[in-house]
Chains A and B, each alone.
Chain A
Amino acid sequence: MEILVCVKRVPDTSENEIEVNSDGTDIERDDLVYSVNEWDNYAVEEAIQIKDKVGGSVTVVTVGDEESEEVLRREMAMGADNGILLEDDAFEGSDGKGIAAILKAAVEKGNYDLILTGAQADDGAAQVGGMLAAMLDLPYASLVNFIDVSDDKKLKVGREIEGGNQEMNEIELPCVLSIQTGINEPRYVGIRGIRKVASVEIPTHGASDLGLGADAVGAGAAKVKRLDYFVPELGEGAEMLEGSTEEKVAKLIELLKAKGGIK
């Protein structure tokens, strides 16, 4: 099975304290540590597991700049066979629809049976997977937490639904799936894997390679614009607990009891 996984480089929330910058237009990006978006990492692991079972190849693709190459390389060290960087000044400032349009063009350049995205990105709006499927006119399932390859025409996919319930579907290939965390246990990147990919060339495609006009992508085409970034004011009734973890837990239990949350 030929699998394409769309991945994104995002600020690593476990390594950074994320703060809004002084004019509220963005987060403070100096000295930020970046990683591959967590959901995407689960998607790549799932793709590698499918490949190991039924054969084929895994390609990882990202829309980004030169620095985004590091997440492609990382996912290749993990076991993806190929990486593709989609980079062009014309892509800058794209909204979710623009990103989906760029990815659509990349999908059409290949011959993929299965396209995976993360369910959402740490810094995103969980929109690209669905839009990409619609643009490609392919079947789509979101929040997928189980995949079983039935044959070369169909998959069985599990979806998490409200209230922790589980749903099982059959979906025809080719299709687009957005992957939920917890679908598997992503492997660590080993040193042998790093050695294999540290110096491989990763191909880059720009707007003209993909046949994309400047009017379809980038800031000019964006119809969703971020107006502001801010930390909400503490509302009435919100209370930050202080102290050690044990003290916080003790206080929380006390409060829950006092307000009738637990008996």
Chain B
Amino acid sequence: MDFDLNTEQEMIRKEVRKFAEKEVAPVAMALDEQEAFSPELTKKMGDIGLFGMFVPEEYGGQELDYISYIIAVEEIARVDGSQAATIAAGNSLGIGPINYFGTKRQKEKYLPTLCTGKGLWGFGLTEPTAGSDAGASKTAAIQDGKEWVLNGSKIFITNAACELSMGVTVQAITGHKENGRPEYTCFLVEQGTPGYKALPMHGKMMWRASNTAELYFDDVRIPEENVLGKPGEGFHQMLSTLDGGRLSIAAMGLGGAQGAYEAALKYAKERVQFGKPISRFQAIAFKLADAATELECARNLLYKACWLRSKKRPFQKEAAMAKVYCSELMGRIADNAVQIHGGYGLMKEYNVERFFRDQKLLDIGEGTSEIQRLVISRYIGC
């Protein structure tokens, strides 16, 4: 067994951390307050190579292993959830499906720009009537000669309606199998295609500097060459994308938990009450000791899941476990971090307030905690 990260992974952690502290930390609070997506910051993240980390070099990517990518997400999330969301969704949901299932032509057309961070791509699965129950989706496409005609709508789609959005991968029903079940196909819908509308959603409690969109498709005509991979493969593509996506959400949980823990530890050592730092009171110290212990567990679980994935071994069960554990861990730690900050923890001036809000999405996005437990319980034979 070898728990050491390699030189490359160590360097990535250190340099992404430095970048996050110098470029993301100073603006995170204001972007959250203004509920503003920042194209400038996204491009800066692109400049240091945070998009396309697992994409081959020939398509403009960095061709790294999955753990390196997960470490980068973790380090951005340690400072800010919104920017980590832009990165995690940009890579796992935007770039991922095109990279893994796209034709050579599709990869050549989209990936080089997406890998610079100058363009973003969304992944549209969720619909108003189909959240956890993705099978209940209604968006559908009908073939018409060399084109497909797409109708329907999507909701809560990350990175799909900002200045940098170039398009979205949309899952739609394109027929039915013999057993009556719907057959799905994914389409690459470019921004500006007639009949396609992407509207930003406002009033979020969390990830306020990440772009979230509602999408409408009204007789949108899509050329045949924009079918992702082959027709009928949409369901499998979606499941596989979500398996990878779970790891990046887990990385956001782990990074956010680490950030909240560090803030709480620092504050507890500085804040003096009853004549000594509050970190010397057992009630506070034990909260921090538990946080440190659970962080260790969470990191080992997540890296193990990534390790399985990079060895091309089954990792779906471990990915679901890492997703639910890391997400809920950030919940516990952010809660305690606010508690340790007392009244100040409730003020926007302190980062833990934002961490506390940002965490809640992690229990819900890319498969709720309930759905993760459902997945795990099936794997263990319940």
Contact = CB atoms under 8 A, between A and B. Distances in A.
B8 A192 contact: no
Interface stretch (A50-58, A193-201, A207-215): A193-201
A93 to B, nearest CB: 28
Interface string B4-40: 0011101110110011011100000000000000000
B292 interface: no
A217 interface: no
A195 B63 contact: yes
Interface string B54-68: 000000001110001
A188 B15 contact: yes
B47 A191 contact: no
B18 A194 contact: no
Counting chain A residues whose Cβ lies within 8 A of the other chain, the interface size class is 10 to 19
Contacts of A70: 10-11
A11 B109 CA distance: 46
A138 interface: no
A159 interface: no
A165 B10 CA distance: 42
B48 interface: yes
Nearest to B47: A190
Contact of A191 (B6, B18, B48): B48
B53 interface: yes
Nearest to B53: A191
Most buried by B among A70, A191, A198: A191
B7 A188 contact: no
Contacts of A199: 7-8
Nearest to B7: A198
Nearest to B266: A17
B175 interface: no
A189 interface: yes
B11 A188 contact: no
A190 B14 CA distance: 11
Contacts of B22: 188
Chain B binding surface SS class: helix
A97 interface: no
Contacts of A9: none
Contacts of A188: 15, 18-19, 22-23, 47-48
B6 A198 contact: yes
A243 to B, nearest CB: 11
Given A194-B15, A195-B62, A189 B8 contact: no
A8 interface: no
A73 B15 contact: no
A74 B22 CA distance: 17
A194 B19 contact: no
B47 A194 contact: no
Given A194-B8, A198-B7, A189 B62 contact: no
B172 to A, nearest CB: 35
A191 B7 contact: no
Contacts of B18: 188-189
Interface string A63-102: 0000000100110010000000000000000000000000
A194 B15 CA distance: 9
B49 A192 contact: yes
B53 to A, nearest CB: 7
Contacts of A14: 21
A195 B64 contact: yes
B141 interface: no
Interface string A201-229: 00000000000000000000000000000
Interface string B158-190: 000000000000000000000000000000000
Contacts of B252: none
A188 B12 CA distance: 11
Nearest to B347: A244
Contacts of A73: 7, 11
B50 interface: yes
Contacts of A190: 15, 47-49
B72 interface: yes
Interface of A: 14, 35, 70, 73-74, 77, 188-192, 194-195, 198-199, 244
Can you list the 4 inter-chain pairs with the closest CB atoms, starting with the nearest? A191-B49, A198-B8, A189-B15, A190-B48
Given A74-B11, A191-B53, 18 more contacts: A70-B11, A188-B18, A188-B19, A188-B48, A189-B18, A189-B48, A190-B15, A190-B47, A191-B12, A191-B15, A191-B48, A191-B49, A191-B64, A194-B15, A195-B62, A198-B8, A198-B11, A244-B344
15 contacts: A70-B11, A73-B7, A74-B14, A189-B11, A189-B48, A191-B12, A191-B48, A191-B50, A191-B53, A191-B72, A192-B62, A194-B8, A194-B12, A195-B8, A195-B63
